[in-house]
Structure 1
Amino acid sequence: MLINDNSLEFWRTLMEKGTAYLGQTDYVKAEDYFKRAVRIAHHLDVPLVKAFSLRLLATVQVKQGKTEIAEKGFREALQICEKVNNYKGMSEALAGLASVAVEKNNFENALHFYRRAIEVYPPESPPLRLAMLYSDLGQAYSALERWQEAQDTYRKAMNLCHKFNYPKGEGELSILIGEVHYRLEDKDQAILCIQHSCKVFAGSKEEVSLINSLQYYAFMMFELQRLEEALTALQRAVVLQMRNNLWEDVSESVYFMAKVLQGLGDLDEAQYYLELSIKCCPDHELSLALRLQSIGRLMVRKEEYGQAKKYFLESAAIFELLGDDLRLGECYEYLAFLLDALGEEEESEYYRKESKRMIAGYHAHSLNAVQRLAEYYERRKQYLDALQCYWQSIEIARDIGYETMDLERAVQRVSRKVRQKKH
């Protein structure tokens, strides 16, 4: 018995350390501790200890993309819990299998497992965990564009969060419900949901979540051409990002703010924020090139052609490195125009010919190239860059009459990862 007592204490220590690393998103170290804990659990005659160890090990394996071995672990944990009628453990194992299905983009299977996880969830267990299961189920419905079922499920989750005083969850679910309304073209209701989330987060001092809500609100206002309201929301978001030292997010927000300001005709302010966006931009090639291209276009509008030429040459060099023929061709088009304006006719003609060559070759291979670039950014967890490339891929595919369903699924997948990263 003494050996078991010692082993149990050692198991507990390993699980605590593994859980700490899981909380820090250091999945490699967490996996190491959980593997050691599973080995000890095999020697202990306590089924739930083994099931709990297997579930946490499988959880970190999913986070690392090790779906096959994770699925095996969750299934073993489920079998153990079924034998001893531990419904909470069964629910968690089923939710784990659902997360594996999500990782494999098999959302029908994910629906099946999330529904079962909710069905067996014990009434006496924490209601906020049940809210999380409803939220995950809603996101699986959203991935399948089953919007009404997604909305109903999100509302169940939000009501639980409200009832049991979890404002962060209530605010996040209000955003998700707003997204569904937006997809269903119910813009007024979508705005009300986002406004509600802003109010909840402001009241609960959840600044990072409030930033996210303000950005959603600004995007909706921009789409509706309510530019003053979009600008106000973005300004508030940027102040909070700066206060929280979120400089990469500052770069994204002020880049968007510059677009809003150009829509309002305030070109000097737009230039200031584009320059700030470039200054705060991390060393991501595509992000930097897009900003340089944007400020080049702005300089054209301001008729500052020398400055415009400088920015377009800088962005063209990056697009050439990335093999983005479409944007490279666009840069060359602008350069041809600028050089004409500057009286440099011979150089202008060179860029005009190069632009035609790039754009002519674009349709032949750019869809595949841009899609590969999107996948590259997704692997590097540069989700905003990946999202932009996937949207570009959809535009190209539509232009040439290709099917876009897989690309639209990719947009949904990456959008979900953006949200998870922000939360």
Structure 2
Amino acid sequence: MNDHSLEFWRTLMEKGTACLGQTDYVKAENYFKRAVRIAHHLDVPLVKAFSLRLLATVQVKQGKTEIAEKGFREALQICEKVNNYKGMSEALAGLASVAVEKNNFENAIHFYCRAIEVYPLESPPLRLAMLYSDLGQAYSALERWQEAQDTYRKAMNLCHKFNYPKGEGELSVLIGEVHYQLEDKDQAILCIQHSCKVFAGSKEEVSLINSLQYYAFMMFELQRLEEALVALQRAVVLQMRNNLWEDVSESVYFMAKVLQGLGYLDETQYYLELSIKLCPDHELSLALRLQSLGRLMVRKEEYGQAKKYFLESAAIFELLGDDLRLGECYEYLAFLLDALGEEEESEYYRKESKRMIAGYHAHSLNAVQRLAEYYERRKQYLDALQCYWQSIEIARDIGYETMDLERAVQRVSRKVRQKKH
């Protein structure tokens, strides 16, 4: 073995791993490709397998699934020849990640189960916990809730046993999600409360924020609005402390809904305006906030202000081709203008509203779904999620199958969580 070549290989792998950690996948791929070329010359099986596996990992991150699958399979063959079970497990987990990227969750389950089966007892237990967690998410994607829950618990027990509170808290959230899907709201709440306690105790503030938001959502769904408000207030304080201003915009927007439910209209207006001020440059997010503010102004009988906000939101919805929401804005404008005595303009918006909503039923499902896919490609996952949920509502209204759309919601929800972590 050439010591100089080995040292150069090690340097390339370290640089590639650093880029991988910084999510600079293009640069990481370049380093790993060079490392693979050197590994071929070194002719050390495990060096070659390790290089191929990390190269394939960054290729999956970029959506290059076919070439990544080839790399993982080659790494697996090398490890099988030399009976390296840890390497086999990692290569199988890599093949599972390719299957997840292709939305082939049955295959993902097969590969994760094999990865767990061959994982050596003497290898790090927290890596095994991660494999169980990934397997649980594949079960969840197929709505195999009991298997998901059992698998998550194995992962959580390992995290608890080997003192990894962040992992324990995250898995408690995942178990809570399963309980929520099974309509066991009380157990779901207990799981989220446990995750909040774990994250608070371990100073994991970003993870604590996510759990507080989830808890607030559950409380909102159950109409326990005071408890939802307290959780959101804690989340916003932590977001501000961590300079997560885009997240602050989302949280105070949600807080405004809670406050409106409690009847605190002035406070609702304040937080809606703050949400608009902090809103990132995402067209749909801004339009929805403006529309909400317009509705609030109607409730406060401040019709001139309401008209202004509805016109602003309508302009954005028209640009996006969102006929349903545009029709809703026109419907509100017709009501407002009628209240202001502007009958001719009111009649115009009433007709436009009917035209938009009629056209929506004919064309909007595909349009909103395309919009969701557009946002997903641009990694605007919250906007994509809102559009996919809207697509499900439309499909149900007209009697269409919603299974593919529900899977899209699950896929994008995972991406939201991954982005936050």
Shift of 1:67: 0.2
Provide the aligned length of Structure 1 versus Structure 2.
421
State the Cα deviation string for residues 155-202 of structure 1 (Å, max 9, x = none): 000000000000000000000000000000000000000000000000
Q: TM-score, normalised by structure 1?
A: 0.99
CA distance in 2: counterparts of 1:349 and 1:277, whole angstroms:
32
CA distance in 2: counterparts of 1:67 and 1:47, whole angstroms:
23
State the Cα deviation string for residues 257-292 of structure 1 (Å, max 9, x = none): 000000000010010000010011000000000000
Counterpart residue number, 2:185: 187
Shift of 1:343: 1.0
Q: Where do 1:337-376 residues align within 5 Å?
A: 337-376=335-374
State the Cα deviation string for residues 20-47 of structure 1 (Å, max 9, x = none): 0000000000000000000111111200
Counterpart residue number, 1:113: 111
Shift of 1:150: 0.2
State the Cα deviation string for residues 72-93 of structure 1 (Å, max 9, x = none): 0000000000000000000000
Shift of 1:133: 0.1
Shift of 1:302: 0.3
Shift of 1:380: 0.7
Shift of 1:422: 1.2
Shift of 1:303: 0.4
CA distance in 1: counterparts of 2:241 and 2:111, whole angstroms:
41
The SS at the match of 1:105 is coil
Identity within the alignment, %: 97
Q: TM-score, normalised by structure 2?
A: 1.00
CA distance in 2: counterparts of 1:280 and 1:98, whole angstroms:
39
The SS at the match of 2:2 is helix
CA distance in 2: counterparts of 1:186 and 1:302, whole angstroms:
38
CA distance in 1: counterparts of 2:361 and 2:353, whole angstroms:
13
Shift of 1:230: 0.1
- Please, what is the CA RMSD of the aligned residues? 0.5
State the Cα deviation string for residues 228-256 of structure 1 (Å, max 9, x = none): 00000000000000000001100100000
CA distance in 2: counterparts of 1:37 and 1:275, whole angstroms:
52
State the Cα deviation string for residues 112-137 of structure 1 (Å, max 9, x = none): 00000000000000000000000000
CA distance in 2: counterparts of 1:340 and 1:17, whole angstroms:
66
Counterpart residue number, 1:21: 19
Counterpart residue number, 1:101: 99
Counterpart residue number, 2:298: 300
Shift of 1:4: 1.2
CA distance in 2: counterparts of 1:308 and 1:37, whole angstroms:
61
CA distance in 1: counterparts of 2:241 and 2:304, whole angstroms:
36
CA distance in 2: counterparts of 1:353 and 1:332, whole angstroms:
9
CA distance in 1: counterparts of 2:279 and 2:91, whole angstroms:
41
State the Cα deviation string for residues 41-64 of structure 1 (Å, max 9, x = none): 111120000000000000000000
Counterpart residue number, 2:376: 378
CA distance in 2: counterparts of 1:53 and 1:298, whole angstroms:
57
Shift of 1:411: 0.4
State the Cα deviation string for residues 330-364 of structure 1 (Å, max 9, x = none): 00000000111111111111100100000011111
CA distance in 2: counterparts of 1:279 and 1:34, whole angstroms:
43
Counterpart residue number, 2:142: 144
The SS at the match of 1:25 is coil
CA distance in 2: counterparts of 1:335 and 1:53, whole angstroms:
61
The SS at the match of 1:85 is coil
CA distance in 2: counterparts of 1:246 and 1:401, whole angstroms:
40
Q: Where do 1:10-409 residues align within 5 Å?
A: 10-409=8-407
CA distance in 2: counterparts of 1:363 and 1:72, whole angstroms:
45
CA distance in 1: counterparts of 2:378 and 2:172, whole angstroms:
30
Shift of 1:220: 0.3
CA distance in 1: counterparts of 2:205 and 2:402, whole angstroms:
37
State the Cα deviation string for residues 381-420 of structure 1 (Å, max 9, x = none): 1111100000000000000011101000000100111111
CA distance in 2: counterparts of 1:18 and 1:4, whole angstroms:
21
CA distance in 2: counterparts of 1:108 and 1:310, whole angstroms:
51
The SS at the match of 1:151 is helix
CA distance in 1: counterparts of 2:40 and 2:340, whole angstroms:
77
CA distance in 2: counterparts of 1:366 and 1:307, whole angstroms:
29
Gaps of 5+ in 1: none
CA distance in 1: counterparts of 2:277 and 2:186, whole angstroms:
36
The SS at the match of 2:103 is coil
